[in-house]
Amino acid sequence: MQAIPYGRQHITDEDIAAVVATLKSDFLTQGPQIEAFEKAFAQVIGSKYAVALSNGTAALHLCAMALGVNENSKVITTPITFAASANCVRYCGGEVVFADIDPKTALIDIDSVRKLLEASPKGTYHGMIPVDFAGYPVNLEEFRKLADEYGLFIIEDSCHSPGGYFTDSQGVKQNCGNGNFADLAIFSFHPVKHIACGEGGMITTNNEVLYKKLLQLRTHGITKDPALMHENHGGWYYEMQTLGYNYRLPDMNAALGLSQLQRFDEGLARRRFIAKKYDEAFVGTNIKTISAPENFGHGYHLYVIQVENRKELYDFLRTKNIFSQVHYIPVHTLPYYQSMGYKKGAYPNAEEYYANCLSIPMYPSMTDQEQEYVIEQILSFCQS
Ligand SMILES: *Cc1c(COP(=O)(O)O)cnc(C)c1O
C-alpha cells in the first residue's frame, strides 16, 4: 500500500491547464483570476465580499488590523487551533486570552468565554476569534449575542469549514464564513485544506467599510482610486495612506483555486461520505469520535478520533505506512506562549483533548480501498 497521509491536495488536468493558461497571460501577480476567484468564492460561501490573500495567516493578520487590534487589545480564542489564530493578535501587539473548549465538540466553550467577560469590567475585551475546528461549525448566532452584549468583534476562523453550516434559531442554514454573524471570516488554501492554491487565503465579509480597508491593507496601504486621494498629480499618481503589506495572491494561484472551486461540492460530499464510513466502523469500539448534530453541516477538514493510547496508535500506523497527525498541540503550551507566562494546566479540557486526539486520513481522493485499509489497521490495533 502506498503511503496514506492525513490530508492531501487533489490536482486534475483541468487545474494544470488553468495554471498554464495564466502563466501565458499578461498577469502573474494580481490580475483577472483574482477577481474571478473572489467572486466565485463569495458566491459559494454566501458572503457579499471576498478578498484573496497570500495565505490564511496574512488573512488573519489583516482582519486583526482592520478591526483595530493594538497594544491595548485583549482578544479571546481557543487553545485547540493552529497557532496562527492566536498569533494574529500578537502581530498587532495585542494580548491573547484563551478560553477552554467544550469536550463534546472540541470547539471554544461559550460558557468559558462568558465567564471571562463577566469577570472583568465591560470594555476589557476587544474581540473574539472562534474557530470551526475540524470543520464543526461554531454556532455563531449565540456568540454574536454574547459579543454584542460586550461590544466585541468576531473573526471567524473558518479554515476547516468551507461548506459547513449551522442552523440558526429561525431554522435557517448559516454557512460558515457567510458574514451574517462574524465581522470577518478567514479561509486558507494550503494544500491540506478543501481548496488548494499552493499558498493562499481569503477573507469574507458583508461589511463594505471593512472590505475597502482590506483591499488597501493588502497592497501596502496604497490606493489609486481618485475618489479616495487627497491630491492627484496625473496618471502615475497613487497614495499610500496607511501602513499596509504586500499580501497579494499571485494570479496563477488564484487560477488554481478557481479551478478547484469547480469541484467544491464533489469534494465536500466525498469528505462527508468518508466520515460516515469511519463513524460506522468505530461504533461499539473504544474509539471516541465527534459528529455534529443533524441540522449542522460538518465540513470535515479533519476526522479526529480520541483514543487512550494515542502515541502507540500513531507509531503503529506509521509502521503500516499510514501517516496520521495530531491537531492540535494546545497553543498556550507552545514555548513562545509559555515564555509569555501562559500556564500548562490552565485549560484542562483542551489539554485532555490533546492527550488523546489523532487525525486519521481524510481527503477526497482517498480511495475506498485505502480507507478500508486504514479502518482495518486501526481496529486491529484497538482490539489487540
Ligand atoms: C491552515 C490554518 C491557518 C493558516 O493558514 P495558512 O494558509 O497556512 O497561513 C489558520 N487557522 C487554521 C485553523 C488553519 O487550519
**Helices of type H across 24-74:** 32-45, 56-66
Q: What is the pLDDT of residue 102?
A: 98
Pairing of strands 303-306, 288-289: antiparallel
Residue 297 per-residue DSSP state: B
Mark whether 255 and 343 lie in a shared domain: no
Mark whether 145 and 246 lie in a shared domain: yes
Mark whether 242 and 336 lie in a shared domain: no
Taking the C-alpha atoms of residue 213 and residue 66, their distance in angstroms, rounded to an integer, is 7
Protein residues with CB under 6 Å of any ligand 1 atom? 55-57, 81-82, 84-85, 131, 157, 159-160, 188, 190, 201
Any idea what the CATH number is for the domain that residue 325 is in? 3.90.1150.10
Mark whether 105 and 32 lie in a shared domain: yes
Which of 261, 278, 299 represents a domain boundary (last residue)?
261
Mark whether 240 and 278 lie in a shared domain: no
Contact 41, 201 (CB under 8 A): no
Mark whether 156 and 205 lie in a shared domain: yes
Residue located via cell numbers 495612506? 241
Q: What is the pLDDT of residue 383?
A: 85
* Residue to probe by mutation, ligand 1, list 55, 156, 190, 202, most atoms within 8 Å of CB: 190
Q: What is the pLDDT of residue 209?
A: 97
Q: How far is the CA of 263 from the centre of ligand 1 (A)?
A: 21
Q: What is the pLDDT of residue 210?
A: 98
Mark whether 279 and 233 lie in a shared domain: no
The helix (H) or strand (E) run that includes residue 154 is: strand 153-157
Task: Say how many domains are in the chain.
Answer: 2
Low-confidence ranges of the chain (pLDDT < 50): none
Pairing of strands 165-167, 173-175: antiparallel
Q: Which residues pair with 157 in a beta bridge?
A: 131, 186
Taking the C-alpha atoms of residue 306 and residue 289, their distance in angstroms, rounded to an integer, is 6
Residue located via cell numbers 494580548? 95
* Residue to probe by mutation, ligand 1, list 131, 138, 188, most atoms within 8 Å of CB: 188
Q: How far is the CA of 56 from the centre of ligand 1 (A)?
A: 5
Any idea what the CATH number is for the domain that residue 19 is in? 3.40.640.10
Mark whether 346 and 207 lie in a shared domain: no
Taking the C-alpha atoms of residue 350 and residue 204, their distance in angstroms, rounded to an integer, is 28
* Residue to probe by mutation, ligand 1, list 53, 80, 85, 192, most atoms within 8 Å of CB: 85
Q: What is the pLDDT of residue 170?
A: 98
Q: What is the pLDDT of residue 105?
A: 98
Q: How far is the CA of 300 from the centre of ligand 1 (A)?
A: 15
Angle of the 264-282 helix axis to the 368-383 helix axis, nearest 10: 30
Report which protein residue has its CA nearest ligand 1's atom 6.
56
Taking the C-alpha atoms of residue 276 and residue 268, their distance in angstroms, rounded to an integer, is 12
Which of 222, 239, 261 represents a domain boundary (last residue)?
261
Which of 246, 261, 276 represents a domain boundary (last residue)?
261
Q: What is the pLDDT of residue 384?
A: 74
Q: What is the pLDDT of residue 381?
A: 96
Q: What is the pLDDT of residue 9?
A: 95
- Nearest atom within ligand 1 for CA of residue 85: 11
Mark whether 291 and 309 lie in a shared domain: yes
Mark whether 232 and 341 lie in a shared domain: no
Cα angle: 88, vertex 89, 92; to 5 degrees = 95
Mark whether 152 and 59 lie in a shared domain: yes
Range of the domain at 355: 264-382
Mark whether 137 and 29 lie in a shared domain: yes
